[in-house]
Chains A and B, each alone.
Chain A
Amino acid sequence: MTRFFTRKRLMVLLASFILLAVLVGLTLREREKASWPEAILIDAFGWVQGVVMAPVQHVAGFFDEVQHIKELYSENARLKANLNDFSAMRVQIQELERQNQQLKNDLGLVNLTTDLKLLATNVVGRSPSTWNSTITIDVGSKAGVTKDMAVITANKGLVGRVYEVTPYHSKVLLISDMEKMFVSAKVQTKDQKDEPYGFVRGAVDNVPQSQKSRLEMTNIPLVAKIKEQNAVITSGLSDIFPPGLLIGEITKVEQDNLGLTQTAQIEPYANLDHLEVVYVVTNSRAAAKE
């Protein structure tokens, strides 16, 4: 029977572990640009993934439609009933928007959330690993994408940030990542003077791809009065994310282990498990810094 750990094998294992530590050490810090061999590989695989992804999404869309066909009838009836309310609401919103703009002009404020310049992009791949939360999108530096730009869905739900850019593709780190994603966020409460701040990242017990992605908000002051169903949005204190992007809704609030702050479990607005088209915010603060 073969011996597992001969002296030679142990030496090779030790040497490879040292090599691994060196390689990780060189690449662990966030780099401004991917090296050219990496860029070539990401672009080449990105194109192939794009070709594979298009028909797959059509087939998946078909299954999705079949699955939801029953719900469509009831949804259609409900939407028709809401249509009358919608017309009245639209007039009301237009009036409120006009008033809001007028008041902002009077106060000299600049509207930060509605002036987002968006670049629509397709998701062509997703990390198959349990331990990474990245997606690949089909726009890169040639389309004006730079590192750390915010990525959102059509309804302004925050998806993540651009982590690595190659000429034709970009790697996006999802907000459910635990290692390199801390989003400065605040909880929207009825009392505007008491909107507590905190950090959002992937939940501790949230192993990607094994369940629905969940987030957690930490470092919320103990005195803050937050409750379930409160909305969490980006705070505007971050260098990366514009203010007012929707992150999610609080599903549970509890004290941290030491009892000094509160931690909130959040269900993200963006469906992080099903991303087809996402938008890169090209005028985010990261772009403004450059």
Chain B
Amino acid sequence: MRPVWILLTMMGMLIIQSTVLQVQPFTFIAPNIPFVMLLFVALKRGPLYALYIGLCIGLLQDVLYGTYLGMHAFTYATIGYFAGTTFRSYWTRQFMVVVLIILGYTFLSELTAYGLSRLFGQGHYDLTSAMLQGVRMMIWNGIFALLLYSPSVRLLDDERRSGRTEESI
């Protein structure tokens, strides 16, 4: 799958997330689908790729729905990059390891976004509520990671990649 198609797919997911999943009675389903996809990009295409895609989709989310630019762009890019590095470090042929890493980075991304909103915003959200939200996101993202794993991995498989050298920074 070409990078532009990956980006368009993620934009489509962002639109579904901001329309379909924001209307009752579908609001109780609360995953972050573009983020789950970003972690699959990190798994299949490596850290640098995930960094660029995360930066683009995060910036888009900031422009469309944020009150200032940068929060999601930074969060998605950083988490995408480190998730890619983690996937490289561990034996990710075990499906359970992949899911556990996804859960861990989901929680980390919620906490990063919470930290940035505390740092740059004037709002003082309660930390306990933020942690609870992180756990809630872990559950939903976990479910969607299970559902999307097979189609995403198939879409993201790059046959040309086998002969290419590994990315590094």
Residues on A lying within 8 angstroms of B by beta carbon are 1-2, 4, 8-9, 12-13, 16-17, 20, 23-24, 26-28, 37-38, 41-42, 45, 48-49, 52-53, 56-57, 60, 63-64, 67, 124-132, 134, 136, 163, 171, 173, 177-180, 202, 204-207, 209-210, 273-274
Q: Does B101 contact A (CB under 8 A)?
A: no
Given A126-B22, A128-B32, A134 contacting B65 (CB threshold 8 A)? yes
- Cα(A187)–Cα(B17), bound, Å: 37
- Contact partners of A56 in chain B: CB under 8 A: 19-20, 23, 26
Q: Is the CB of B64 within 8 A of A136?
A: yes
CB-based contact B64/A210 at 8 Å: no
19 contacts between A and B (CB under 8 A): A2-B88, A27-B70, A28-B68, A37-B63, A41-B60, A42-B63, A60-B25, A124-B19, A125-B18, A125-B64, A127-B66, A129-B66, A132-B67, A134-B66, A134-B67, A179-B122, A204-B124, A205-B125, A205-B129
Q: Are B72 and A173 in contact (CB under 8 A)?
A: no
Query: Does B165 sit within 8 A of A, measured CB to CB?
Result: no
Query: Looking across the interface, which residue of chain A has its beta carbon closest to that of B117?
Result: A131
Binary per-residue interface labels of chain B (61-99) against chain A in the complex, 1 for a CB within 8 Å, 0 otherwise: 101111111111110011000100100110000000000
Residues of B within 8 A of A12 (CB): 169
Q: Which residues from chain A contact B116 at a C-beta distance below 8 Å?
A: 20
Which residues does chain B contribute within 8 Å of A57, judged by CB atoms? Answer: 23
Does B65 contact A128, Cβ atoms closer than 8 Å?
A: yes
The answer to whether A28 and B120 touch across the interface, beta carbons within 8 angstroms, is yes
Q: How far is the CB of B90 from the nearest CB of chain A, in Å?
A: 8
Task: Give every chain B residue within 8 A of A136 (Cβ-Cβ).
Answer: 18, 64-65
What is the interface size of chain B, counting residues whose CB is below 8 A from a CB of the partner?
56
Determine whether the beta carbon of B78 is less than 8 Å from that of A128.
no
* B48-69 interface bits toward A, Cβ cutoff 8 Å, 1 = contact, 0 = none: 0000000000001101111111
Q: Which 7 A-B pairs have the closest CB atoms?
A: A178-B123, A127-B65, A126-B22, A128-B17, A179-B121, A23-B70, A179-B123
Q: How far is the CA of A28 from the CA of B17 in the complex (A)?
A: 25
Check if B70 sits within 8 Å of A64, measured CB to CB: no
Known: A12-B169, A41-B60, A209-B30. A132 touches B65 (CB 8 A): yes
Give the residues from 4 to 35 in chain B that come closer than 8 angstroms, CB to CB, to chain A: 14-27, 30, 32
Q: Given the complex of chains A and B, what is the CA–CA distance between A17 and B116 in angstroms?
A: 11
